[in-house]
Structure 1
Amino acid sequence: MKPDDKIYQDYLSILQEELIAATGCTEPIAIAYAAAKAREVLGARPESCMIKASGNVIKNVKSVVVPNTNGLRGIPAAAAAGIVAGDASRKLEVLGIVSAQDKTRIQNYLETHPLTVEPAVNKSIFYIEVTVKGYGNEATVMIQHYHTNIVCITRNQAVIYQSHSETDDKNGLTARDCLNVREIVDFCESVRLEDIASVIGRQIDYNSAISAEGLENTWGANIGKVLLAAYGNDVRTRARAAAAAGSDARMGGCEKPVVIVSGSGNQGMAASLPVIEYGKELKSSRDKLYRAVALSDLVTIHQKTGIGRLSAYCGAVSAGCGAGAGIAYLHGGDYDMIAHTIVNSVAITSGIICDGAKPSCAAKISAAVDAGILGFNMYKNDQQFISGDGIVTKGVDNTIHNVGLLAKEGMRQTDQEIIKIMLNQPQTANSK
């Protein structure tokens, strides 16, 4: 693959579009972004706020801590943070810089202003609508399809911005149907390092920093620490612990940014941190490591293309599988080794549900990464799952297609039931 090939440029664009920085879980941050933008359009701090959101967004905001809010959770908290302290120009880092005084003001605003939440009445899987009112005026910001994709802005019912992507699945992004495993491997072997150094280098730096925070301090259920305490310090355990610890911190409201993949910080960490740990163990060169992380990212994105941004299917499964592919590449793996690693790992963990962002995501990441590593070790030991074994079929891309059908179509009703269970479940401090 050559730099002037269209597919080379498309793959670069996909990495640049996907590997962006975010402070906090991306669904509450998207709500904070919409709220900050609505306040900006209104021109004043609003007296009230109404948030409408799709079920999957509600699911992913319910239990996760909003960063820079002193531990607040939920949609009203995310909207209040965006209104009081958000900088809409920073998009998914909208809450990246919040003063101690503003943290107190967020709590006060939440307690003294009406912030109401309603389920969105449309078929969009990803939808956020924030309407703010104050001083005789109102403003509405609508986000659809993905976290920063503002499709409409109104002020006093007059449209001041309208995007053509409101009914467009591509949403102005590079088409993802160009992705396939053989060409992903080709791209990662031939890409000029300077073309990916910025985005991959930032992913490695940011995600390593929040992983270290998760291992050094107390966050969530401390899955990263538990793994190391229970299973030792071999590279396989370190790879799982590094990714889990990043999620521990992020789900617990850590204010450090992460670089996301497929709209998810957890997936961005699960795709990169295990590969980084194996790179250290193998003493891989910077060049080899960057190519391996890029491969893991693209394999993850390829799988998520058929699944969608939000689903009942846990995205960590795709990222753990991507990590297995990246680890195989670090070991000198060619297309065959990488393809078999992907198929093997997908066959192991497909079906893990997504029941929102929360501390248990770290444990699911550990399981997904373990499946990716096992898939690679199966190939090394001349073992594989073959066509006809469940959803596995002939050809790695065909198996990935089957996973997409399972997740997007087959688990549609599962997704609805998960959301019903979560919304009807009382919030308690202790689940025992």
Structure 2
Amino acid sequence: MNPLLELLKKEVAPAEGCTEPIAVAYAVSLAAELLDEEIQSMKLCLSGNIIKNALGVGIPGTGQSGLPIAAALGAVIPRSHRKLEILSGLSPDELEAANRLLARDVLQVELKETPEKLYIEARLQGPTTDVLVVIEREHTRVTKLLRNGEPVEQGREKADCEAEVVDDVASQLTLDGIYSFATEVALEDIEFLLEGVAMNKAISEEGLRGEYGLQVGRKMAQQSAVNLFGQDMATGIIAATAAASDARMAGSAMPVMTTAGSGNQGIACTLPVIALAERIGADEEKLARALALSNLVTVHIKQYIGRLSPLCGSGIAGGVGANSGIIYLMGGSLAQIKRGVQSTIASLSGMICDGAKATCALKISTGTNAAIQAATLAMNDISPSPSDGVIFDEVEDTIRNMERLVQEGLANTDSTILGIMLSKSGKET
């Protein structure tokens, strides 16, 4: 299989609910299945980024938000094989069982001091058994599975080997290579991307109908005396994209197609492309190739800003990915796509991530607007010059230096943001 196709198939996957708390539920479910007896204690040790992205987000089908209910659901739902779709089909009885478990006060959550941005350690204890599950670097990458101190099959070696192969492919991505792949790959190989079109459109339409979160997309789409937005194409695209995030962050039980481990990134990099394709009448092949481009560009950007990061992956990486797909649909060249990437990064590079919550829809709407704006400039052969801020002459240098911005310039940003968030509830560490 073509390495880029393999990467694309791995990085584009369905999920129900925000991937950080759902990954916690997955880890706890693995542990509970191995425990196979009454839970007497449940301890979670989590990286700051996991806590940051799970504090305020709605959990599908529960009417609740945050880590406790996600962890408790994992403990009572024996469906770890569903991975990030573990909450699909959640029943009232399962929700009641999870709430009963929380009422027993068996859950303890601690901040884990670790260099890994994505780290989940779940330890469950029963009368005779102790189970430890560790997930690192990726939301379903199990690196440790111990029962009473003894390793259980499917642990570290297999996960490490698979991750190294994918990391190697991702680390060698370039816009040139992505463009060549997206425009030359056989259509039947990327038709699976069209499965995500119906999925992401459905949650967008739900967000436009319902009063979810801040109703960013819904209010942009509605015409009223207090709405300064018109009914133009750009507004429709931005509203459709933001509405999906409105619904998802408020706990909609509808699944989304994720990109690089994030549903909001999947929304941000695909829905603008889907919405534009509909409006200009692009055929399925053109849409599939545009989605291959937008998804892989998003993965490329994420390789440098990090799987979990002080920078907003949905706004920045998703916005850059959407911009590339938009330009392709508009008939733009590779050179114009590179111009668009430069302008989108120039516009969005300072957008921070302060967790998964209702205001993600605001950031996604901003990112989509920037993508459309940058595409308009690119199609007119306009882009920033190397004398402008973080922009370099070569687009790959601009992208690579996003890593330097994160590692050097924003080294303490995550801990500061988490401290601010926890201070509101008196839990600052």
TM-score bucket of the superposed structures, by smaller chain = over 0.9
Question: Does residue 348 of the first structure (1) align with residue 366 of the second (2)?
Answer: no
TM-score, normalising length: structure 1: 0.93
- Cα 1:29/1:86, change in 2 over 3 Å: farther
Number of the residue aligned with 1:21: 14
Query: For residues 216-252 of structure 1, what are the alpha-carbon distances to aligned partners after superposition, in whole Å with 9 as ceiling and x for unaligned?
Result: 1121111111222331332211111111111111111
Question: Does residue 92 of the first structure (1) align with residue 92 of the second (2)?
Answer: no
CA distance in 2, matches of 1:290, 1:417: 40
Number of the residue aligned with 1:178: 172
CA distance in 1, matches of 2:327, 2:115: 39
Number of the residue aligned with 2:149: 157
- Cα 1:276/1:254, change in 2 over 3 Å: same
For 2:239, the aligned partner's letter is A
Number of the residue aligned with 1:268: 266
CA distance in 2, matches of 1:281, 1:138: 56
Question: Does residue 418 of the first structure (1) align with residue 410 of the second (2)?
Answer: no
Shift of 1:45: 4.0
- Cα 1:86/1:388, change in 2 over 3 Å: farther
Gaps of 5+ in 2: none
CA distance in 2, matches of 1:46, 1:149: 24
Shift of 1:164: 2.8
Deviant stretches of 4+, over 3 Å? 165-172
For 1:415, the aligned partner's letter is D
Number of the residue aligned with 2:109: 117
How do 1:124-143 and structure 2 match up within 5 A? 124-143=116-135
CA distance in 2, matches of 1:218, 1:104: 26
Number of the residue aligned with 1:288: 286
Q: Which shifted more, 106-115 or 299-308?
A: 106-115
CA distance in 1, matches of 2:273, 2:64: 33
How do 1:313-352 and structure 2 match up within 5 A? 313-316=311-314, 317-352=316-351
CA distance in 1, matches of 2:129, 2:319: 48
CA distance in 2, matches of 1:14, 1:181: 15
Number of the residue aligned with 1:79: 71
For 1:228, the aligned partner's letter is A
CA distance in 2, matches of 1:45, 1:246: 38
Report the aligned-residue RMSD: 1.6
Task: State which of 183, 187, 194 in structure 2 corresponds to 1:193.
Answer: 187
CA distance in 1, matches of 2:243, 2:408: 32
For 1:256, the aligned partner's letter is M
Q: Which shifted more, 240-249 or 223-232?
A: 223-232
Query: For residues 95-142 of structure 1, what are the alpha-carbon distances to aligned partners after superposition, in whole Å with 9 as ceiling and x for unaligned?
Result: 112112212222222112410001113221110000111122111110
Query: For residues 290-318 of structure 1, what are the alpha-carbon distances to aligned partners after superposition, in whole Å with 9 as ceiling and x for unaligned?
Result: 10111111111111101110010001211
Contact 2:339-2:381 within 8 A present in 1 as well: no
Shift of 1:90: 0.4
CA distance in 2, matches of 1:103, 1:166: 31
TM-score, normalising length: structure 2: 0.94
Query: For residues 344-367 of structure 1, what are the alpha-carbon distances to aligned partners after superposition, in whole Å with 9 as ceiling and x for unaligned?
Result: 111011111000000000010000
